[in-house]
Structure 1
Amino acid sequence: MQHRSPVEAVEIELIRSLFDAFVPSAIMTVLFLIGGVLIVEATGDPVLLLLLIGGSFASAVRPWTAWSLAPVARRQSLTFEQAKTLERRFAWPYYAFAAILGLFGVRVMLLPIPEGHMIVVCLLMGYAAGVAAGMGLRPRIANISMIVSLLPASITAMMVGNILYQATGLLAASFLAGGVYSLRGRHERAGKDIMLRLAFANLARQDALTALPNRVALREWFDEQIVTGGARGLIAVHYVDLDGFKPINDSYGHPVGDALLTAVGKRITHAIRASDMAARLGGDEFAVVQYGIETETEAQYLAERLAEAIAQPFQIEGHALRISTSLGYVVKEAGADGLDDLLGLADKALYASKRGAGAVTRYAAPPPDERRAVA
């Protein structure tokens, strides 16, 4: 199971916001194409035609990129490095279109066609507004896109036009400055809101005592990684129950018992791979889900490693404490059974361990004759 810092978790959520809506980009593509065609037909300018072709292509790539990357961005297992890579892949088509749109605006403003000036001003302002609304939580992308697209035409209008054009350019530049400033505050507020929301979400999915994931988090992880994630190979579910915990809890008190459970949780976490999942099910019961293994022996090794780790003495508040564990596990093809079914089978193996079959017991399906007798 991966661990993210609070800052990384917030950044991931902010990056995910880029992929929430790609319809405005598609609308802008259509409007740029329509407006550009009208201006090119009216002027016959070959430079504008080249910019129109390049801009239409770059603009069309934007919604396609957002749409194609959205499923990856929504994965709960998305790492910070993966999120930053997605952001870069998302940003480049936006930068390309912003640059072409800026050049298109400058070229139009240099031509003596007032009707074209009106259209291009509408396109530029509409684009900037759409960027601020859709990408405002990532101000770096938004600011670069708005500045590159809007500022060149604004400066051109102030330099080559009359007083009305100069005023138009000044107004556009002022709106741009205000937008850049407001995005900074919006980004900071959104970051604080997301951090608070994630904190509450983590509380609902985290065992308050051991800080391990709880049943809710285990189920969500299983659904994403195994059910919808298309995991292949074998999957093992280990059901762990502590032997001798209750006498320790009764003899030394609940604070010592709680500290012991926390220490057990840490040992379990250190014994598994980063890709595996450990959770506290309640009381002195824990579960470990191990997936992507190639042989059943790997599951057996982990089960034995867990039992050996827990069997080592614990130093809790000056007391040297020893406990053992009963562990049952089941190995199945990934995707063949649901989490509840696998936990149930591992639990059956656990009870076999408690009945004296051994500290570690693998679930074995009953013989066909017994299954028919039960049926």
Structure 2
Amino acid sequence: MGNIKGRGSPLRHHPEAVEIDLIRGLFHAFAPALVMTISFLSAGLVILNRTGDSILLVLLILGAVASVARLVSAHLIAPIIHAEGVTIEQARYLERLFAIPYLCFSLVLGLFGFRLLQLPSADTHMVAAALSLSYCAGVAVGMGSRMWIAVPSMILALGPVIAAMLLQPDFLYKLSGAVMAAILLSGIQSLRGKQNRSADDIALRIAFSHLARKDALTALPNRIALREWWEQVVASGAENKLVAVHYLDLNDFKPVNDRHGHPVGDALLAAAGKRIARTIRDSDIVARLGGDEFAVIQYDIVNADDAAQLAARIREAITQPFSIGALTLKISTGHGFVVSRGRDEALEDLLALADKALYTSKQGGEISQYEAVETITRRVA
């Protein structure tokens, strides 16, 4: 990736996500590839009809096969590479599958142009230059973010044409070949800057997207991220999975905030969030809903006892003293939860019921469960 992994670049925080997005960008250039295929075949058929050259016929057939393979692979791979959950290994594999026919067509196009320049007609020479240069321009636009494909493609397509021009006895041909070589070199150099800018732009977009889903104070997921997690994990998961939704707040937080100030209160919230996060499994999620309120979702539990045990662990963790600067602070938590087969339930409904259980716990001083183990749909107001 060049220097885009520098210390100040956001790319270093999301390198794999950036690379996946760069690979996905390869599959937005279907129309230019189709135009190039039509142009190559049309020009080739016209010239073949005029010359009857057997070498051109072979190259035309090979180019047609490679070009069709290029279009078909792009069409088949595009929905796979744009699917959610694609790993970097899968993305790189799909990229290699896409690159094979792309590079093959580049080579055939270069050899086709080389052969045209060996023919005596100046018209065919003009066609060779036009096809190769227009192809390289398309590569720079559509493939510029992946230099390992773009640079070889440009060299394969334009290199043989440049060589054929330099071999011509006419000085103007040699001059044209030199100019095309300079254009190729400058184009390769400009691609480096384009790749760097594209990667940094993607990294910034990913970083901002992550920030929009993260609570700035505690660094926990926020309500938006919680909802997205629910849709991805629970709503699209197995039907028979039990889910526990916990709703909790911090008792005595407001007096601490009022007495010691917001900086101490903010530090206390962040510390409490970390303690809650340490009590859950990797398959669960904790989010800050706002103020001193948090939500925890347990996915795929055995029964309601699992939820009750987690609630007890959270309560125990929060009741331990907090050291905030020179202060030692003690708080507790109000905690309610609801257990349901969550795939067919709305997250907001479950949160509302867990909040009711939280209110009940405040009245009795104990963790409260909203009794809804099998289904709660009928109980939602």
**TM-score, normalising length from structure 1?**
0.80
Aligned residue number for residue 62 of structure 2:
54
Q: 1:332 aligned to 2:341? A: yes
Residues 190-339 of structure 1 aligned to structure 2 (within 5 Å): 190-223=198-231, 230-233=236-239, 234=241, 235-274=243-282, 276-291=284-299, 293=300, 295-296=302-303, 300=307, 303=311, 305-325=313-333, 326-334=335-343, 336-339=344-347
Percent identity over paired residues: 50
1:176 aligns with 2:180: no
Q: Distance in 2 between matches of 1:107 and 1:247?
A: 85
The 1:154/1:5 distance shift into structure 2, 3 A limit, reads: same
- With over 3 angstroms needed to count, the CA separation of the structure-2 counterparts of 1:260 and 1:162, relative to structure 1, is same
Judging changes above 3 Å, is the alpha-carbon distance between structure 1 residues 185 and 249 closer, same or farther for their aligned structure 2 residues?
same
Matched residue, 1:103: 111
RMSD of aligned alpha carbons? 3.7
CA, structure 1 residues 197+38, in 2 after alignment: closer, same or farther (shift >3 Å)? Answer: same
Post-superposition shift, 1:178?
1.6
Contact persistence 1:346–1:362 (CA under 8 A): yes
Mapped partners of 2:130, 2:233: distance in 1:
46
Deviates more, 1:356-365 or 1:234-243: 356-365
Report matched runs for 1:59-208 at 5 Å.
59-74=67-82, 78-160=86-168, 162-208=170-216
Q: Secondary structure at the match of 2:372?
A: coil
In the alignment, the residues of structure 2 paired with residue 72 and residue 271 of structure 1 have an alpha-carbon distance, to the nearest angstrom, of 36
Aligned letter for 1:49? L
- Post-superposition shift, 1:345? 3.5
Assess if the C-alpha contact under 8 Å between 1:307 and 1:327 holds in 2: no
> Structure 1 residues 263, 223: closer, same or farther in 2, change over 3 A?
same
Contact 1:328/1:351 (8 A) holds in 2: no
Equivalent position of 1:364 in the other structure: 372
Q: 1:177 to 1:343 in 2, by over 3 A?
A: same
Tell me the distance in 2 between the aligned counterparts of 1:303 and 1:29: 63
Separation of aligned partners in 1, 2:347 and 2:12: 25
Unmatched tracts of structure 2, length 5 or more: 1-10
Distance 1:221 1:175, change over 3 A: farther
Structure 1 residue ranges without an equivalent (≥5)? none
User: How far is the alpha carbon of 1:273 from its aligned partner?
Assistant: 4.6
Q: Identify the range of structure 1 (237-246 vs 357-366) with the bigger mean alpha-carbon deviation.
A: 357-366
Could you tell me how far 1:131 is from its partner in structure 2? 1.0
2:356 and 2:370 in contact (8 A); partners too:
no
Q: What residue is the counterpart of 2:45 in the other structure?
A: 37
Q: Does the Cα contact within 8 Å between 1:76 and 1:224 map onto a contact in 2? A: no
